[in-house]
Structure 1
Amino acid sequence: MEIPEIAFEYYSENHELTDALKAKVEQRIQKLAKKHHDITGVSVAIQRVEHTHTPHAYRARVVVYHKPENVVATEVAPTVEESLLRALDSVERQVREQRRKLREQWKRP
């Protein structure tokens, strides 16, 4: 079965998002979308969070445009890669949970 076409959008204020990280995001989302047609796009935003308590932290926000409901995850970590990978983990878990709920509609009260 072919993998559906997914639109990827990236935003980074300080250009910390490397091509290797973009490739990792696309690979994981393509794997998640394999054999499914419920993901139409992905938006990734990286922001550097600077406060007195967190001088070196990054916030990653990943939005998956998913039918019937979009999925969003935001994570903060000391590195861009760590925050992005945590957000991806969260998004993947949420998408799988939504799919499981849709398959098991007979369990609804």
Structure 2
Amino acid sequence: MALGRKGARRIVVDGTSYRWRLRHRPTYSQALCWSPCSYAVEHAVHPGTTLVVTTNQPHAGNWLGRPGNAVLPSDVADAIEAAVRQGWVPTRPGSPFHLNQSTGFSSAH
């Protein structure tokens, strides 16, 4: 699963370049605050396994007007470091690696 280049942002963590992307529009579940915001990260030069990070915030574009914090580059860097510590190898092909940081998220239903 490759990350589209359009809308992807570059970040360097520990000397390695990555690209990350947050969906501009929320999924239906995110729009109704049933599930939290998530974003994807991949190695910028040799993409392999995609990292999918689930946050503990609602998507900023949710339909209920619930406030949520923006995903900052520092948040992405922290998630990349945590995923690497947990065994994510970004250049190895395979299924997406999921990093669940949704502790504390309260669903709207």
> Shared fold (TM-score greater than 0.5)?
no
Could you say which structure has the higher helix fraction?
1
From the CA coordinates, give the structure whose radius of gyration is larger: 1
TM-score normalized with structure 1 length: 0.38
TM-score scaled by length of structure 2: 0.38
More strand per residue: 1
Q: Report which structure shows greater RCO (CA 8 Å, sep ≥6).
A: 2
